[in-house]
Amino acid sequence: MSAPIHECRVASLVPCVVAAVLLAACAREAAAPAKESAAVPPGVAYESHITAGGLTPPGGTLHNPHAGDAGVAKNGAQLFTTMNCDGCHGADAAGWVGPNLGDGRWHYGGSDAEVFSSIYYGRPKGMPAFGGALGAEGVWTLVTYLRSLTPPPDVPTESWQN
Amino acid sequence: MRSTHQVIATLFGVLAAATAWAAPADGDWTMPSRDYAATRYSPLTEITAQNARSLHPVWTFSTGVLGGHEGQPLVVGSTMYVVTPWPNVLYAFDLAREGYPLKWKYRPNVSGTAIGVACCDSVNRGAFYVDGKLIYNLLDGHTVAVDAASGRELWNTAIADVGSGETVTMAPLIVGDKVIVGASGGEFGIYGWVKALDLATGKIVWTARNIGPDVDMQVHADTFKPAYDHGADLGASSWGGDGWRTGGAPVWGFMSYDPQLDLFYYGTGNASPYNPEQRVGDDKWTASVMARRPADGTLVWAYQFTPHDNWDYDATGAMVLADLTVGGKTVKALVHFDKNGFAYTLDRATGRLLSAAPFTPVNWAHSVDLATGRPVLDPAKQTGLSHGNVKNICPSLEGGVSPSSPPAYSPRTHLFYSSTNNMCMDYAAARASHLKGTPFVGVNAPYSAGPGDYLGSFMAWDAVSGKKIWENKEPFPNWSGALVTAGDVAFYGTLDGWFKSVDAKTGKVLSKFKVGSGVVGNPMTYRGPDGRQYVAVYAGFGGDWALIAGDARSDDPADVRGPADPVKSIARHTSLGGIIWIFAL
């Protein structure tokens, strides 16, 4: 038996607050059909999750309405500064007290939906939940910026021999 | 008529109070800076400049924690107490048994959220022992008291709000029945403060802001006598608006206390945000030294080292109290090595400046005017959004010395001993918006090497002449505290992981040992139960370096960074990891 997949989109041009309401509605919609449990969360699985018995639990999926949009990415770069993201993650998201977000390596997954979840709901060790302040539209704008960063080649070796 | 029990209880009360005021036994180290004057001077004499070459490690212990190990162990009688960085474990080692096994360990439940709210790693600067209790702060904004005999928690008080950007890394100061604490958060726009807790119960007795109107600051017109400033509500009127509400002035260094004057001293941190054009004026009392009464927090005087802080020059470094002979007269002095690169000597009764001289390359100011107490600025080094990217400001915002690296003073050599940094920076300010729970900074400030072929040093300083007596240059910024003893030996560690003993009179290196990780902690010394003198220090690279030198980390596969200027090779010499080391002859 495959897990039910529910998709919904948050409109890209609505104000943040409205977008947040829509997102909540989306979450309810995602959860509702799982009749056996009204409390199934709309959480987004990230890539390093393992599943007991190999069975993926039902959950929602999210799609970035701005994926690949260079103009939105540029706005996101501005938002990265005005929302003080650079205060922890450094200029150009290259890392400071918070991790480097441009190296192609991720704690909680690097897909648009996974990055959305990290920003919208926050993460342990001090990453604030920005969903309340930014709404879904603002968070998607940041996601679009971060996903536009081109990670350098992943070279796991640092050498001092020469 | 009183019962015998009441009389005995009263006597014990008097004895307990007397203990709290007494100097520690000569072989003990009961408070963070060893004494109230914050000298980090020990009267022990077994280790001398003649025999220190045979110092060698006799014991080590992994703390199991990777954060930067700032602070220092305490030794009381035959027990050593160690506080780790987050999660702030407290260990009690039995020095009377072979191998120093634990008597107990205390593991408080400290929120991990605080790690990312702390600006600069999950550090802790140590505990204070008094009357059978250990008092220290938890990163997530709590102060705890732990029974020294059993390790049992006696009280646990919430003092700070992580959700508002406050974390706590400083070591408390205890005077009589008051536990004095403060919060970090100069990068989060906090409304900086100190608070006093009751030693017996942990209840908050008073709160005094470091900025803001007089009523919040415990400033009273009849008792507040700063040497250079006059007027009401200076902590609010010097901001050109209400920026003081989010103006920073955190407290995260080491405090001192003069029992005769009944004043305690501490420094305040940077003004928030780092973009100075968002806060016009002196921004009092950021980047200042504060002299307060422990009983009720009354501010008696204050002196601002860096008015209108343009460069993140926190003044949270230790205020060392020493009686110095100036012009044939004994002066009750306060000596402070500031992040801004000047060493200051003040009259600690009045707050009047006696001398100020640079101890490391400085170019933001030419000098400090003794008549006005104000720095003579170089206008080309003023920063702010309208100035664009201001190049080559010295020292960098890491400071001419870190406030995490407290100095020492020897009454035998009459010299101060301190680490230094020799780095400069470019400073591109940006508009910062205040959003509770997020950083309030507004700058991009990359570092570069200062003039000369070194990045840091350990030096001996004459605070009367304002001159360096000797200096050992180091290849990396030097981030350890200093220790000096009556054997005329000084001790320090280096960022690349060497622990050194040097001749206090000449700086000649007497012994050195590679301790497994960079040293950002403070050496201390004690007499063991066997009567011998020991020296202890933490290894455990971190603090600001956990941020700057991301390539020195090995614990996070999801955060990989390249080498950083100007410490491109530091990761060749160290990684993270806390180790307690004990040395002896």
Nearest-by-Cβ selection for B557 from A105, A127, A160: A105
Q: Domain range holding B176?
A: 4-584
- Domain with residue B79: its CATH number is 2.140.10.10
Search chain B and give the residue with CA nearest A104.
B558
Q: Label residue A60 by pLDDT band (50, 70, 90).
A: confident
CB distance B563–A158 less than 8 Å?
yes
A94 touches chain B (CB under 8 A): yes
To 10 degrees, what angle do helices A112-121 and A131-148 make?
Answer: 150
Superfamily of domain A70-148: Cytochrome c-like domain (1.10.760.10)
Calculate how close chain A gets to B534, using CA atoms only, in Å: 36
* Rounded Cα distance, A126 and A93, in Å: 16
Letter string b/e over residues B256-288, b meaning 16 or more CB atoms within 10 A of that residue's CB: bbbeeeebbbbbbbbbbbbbbbbbebbbbbbbb
- In Å, how far from its chain's centre is CA B160? 19
């990045």: which residue's tokens? Answer: B455
The domain ranges of chain A are 70-148
- DSSP letters, B31-74, are STTSSTT---EE---SS-TTTGGG-EEEEEEE-S--S---S--E
B250 vs B315: CA distance, rounded Å: 10
Tell me whether residues B556 and A81 touch, CB distance under 8 A: no
Q: A46 CA to chain B: closest CA distance, Å? A: 14
Mutate to test the interface with B, among A84, A100, A134 (most CBs of B within 10 A): A84
Cα distances (angstroms) measured from residue A15 to each of A10, A136, A137, B73, B204: 11, 9, 7, 55, 44
- Is 80 exceeded by the pLDDT of residue A22? no
| pLDDT confidence of residue A4 | 31
Q: What is the ipTM of this complex?
A: 0.90
d(CA B440, CA B34): 35
| b/e burial code for range A104-128 (CB count within 10 A of at least 16 → b) | ebbbbbbbbbbbbbbbbbbbebbbb
A77 touches chain B (CB under 8 A): no
Instruction: Output the CA torsion sign for A56, A59, A65, A70.
Output: negative
Using one digit for the tens of pLDDT, what is the confidence trace for A145-162? 999 999 989 888 999 886
Q: Per residue in B498-522, pLDDT tens?
A: 999 999 999 999 999 999 999 999 9
Say yes or no for a CB contact (<8 Å) between A84 and B433: yes
CA distance A64 to chain B (A): 23
Q: Which of B438, B544, B548, B555 to mutate to test the interface with A (most CBs of A within 10 A)?
A: B438
Cross-chain residue pair A156–B430, CB shorter than 8 Å: no
DSSP string, chain A: -PPPEEEE---SSS-HHHHHHHHHHHHHHHHTT-TT-TT---PPP-TT---GGGPPPPEEEE--TTTT-HHHHHHHHHHHHHTTHHHHH-GGG--SSSPPSSSS--SS--SHHHHHHHHHH-BTTTB---HHHHHHHHHHHHHHHHHHS-PPP---------
* Residues contacting residue A13 through CB under 8 Å, at least 6 positions apart: none
The Cα–Cα gap between B8 and B3 comes to 9
Of the candidates B313, B305, B302, B288, the one whose C-alpha atom is nearest the C-alpha of residue B214 is: B302
Using the Cβ of A46 and the Cβ atoms of chain B, whether some distance falls under 8 Å is answered with no
Contact yes or no for A91 and B550 at CB 8 A: no
pLDDT band at A5 (very low <50, low <70, confident <90, very high): very low
| A106 contacts chain B (CB < 8 A) | yes
| pLDDT tens digits in sequence order for chain B, 585 residues long | 344 444 444 444 444 443 434 456 899 999 999 999 999 999 999 999 999 999 999 999 999 999 999 999 999 999 999 999 999 999 999 999 999 999 999 999 999 999 999 999 999 999 999 999 999 999 999 999 999 999 999 999 999 999 999 999 999 999 999 999 999 999 999 999 999 999 999 999 999 999 999 999 999 999 999 999 999 999 999 999 999 999 999 999 999 999 999 999 999 999 999 999 999 999 999 999 999 999 999 999 999 999 999 999 999 999 999 999 988 999 999 999 999 999 999 999 999 999 999 999 999 999 999 999 999 999 999 999 999 999 999 999 999 999 999 999 999 999 999 999 999 999 999 999 999 999 999 999 999 999 999 999 999 999 999 999 999 999 999 999 999 999 999 999 999 999 999 999 999 999 999 999 999 999 999 999 999 999 999 999 999 999 999 999 999 999 989 899 999 999 999 999 999 999 999
Tokens matching residue B115:
């790690």
Q: Is the CB of A97 less than 8 angstroms away from the CB of B120? A: yes
pLDDT at A55: 84
Q: CB distance A84–B438 less than 8 Å?
A: yes
| Residue B535: half-sphere exposure toward Cβ, Cα within 13 Å | 36
Interface of B with A (CB under 8 A): 112-121, 187, 430-433, 435, 437-441, 444, 546-547, 550-551, 556-563, 569, 571-572
CB pairs < 8 Å spanning A and B: 81
Q: How many domains does chain B have?
A: 1
Q: How far does A121 lie from chain B, in Å, by closest CA? A: 13
Q: Name the 3-class secondary structure at B206.
A: strand
Quote the pLDDT of residue B267: 98
Task: Determine the pLDDT at residue A58.
Answer: 77
Q: CA B29 to CA B527: how far, in whole Å?
A: 9
Task: Look at chain B and count its residues.
Answer: 585
First to last CA, chain A: 57
Q: Is the minimum CB–CB distance between A82 and chain B shorter than 8 Å?
A: yes
B274 neighbors A91 (Cβ within 8 angstroms): no
For residue A52, the model assigns a pLDDT of 87
Task: State the smallest CA–CA distance between residue B115 and chain A in angstroms.
Answer: 5
The Cα B183–Cα B181 span in angstroms is: 7
Place of tokens 């960074």: B561
Contact B547 A96 (CB under 8 A): yes
pLDDT at A56 (0 to 100): 79
Question: Residues B340, B313: contact at Cβ < 8 Å?
Answer: yes
Q: At what angle do helices A131-148 and A70-82 cross, to 10 degrees?
A: 130
pLDDT attached to residue B118: 96
pTM for this entry:
0.92
Q: How far is CA B497 from CA A19, B470, B473, in A?
A: 52, 22, 15
Residue of chain B nearest A102, judged by CA positions = B559
Residue B394: alpha-carbon gap to chain centroid: 21
The residue in chain A having the minimum alpha-carbon distance to the alpha carbon of residue B444 is A91
Gap between the Cα atoms of A97 and B115, Å rounded = 9
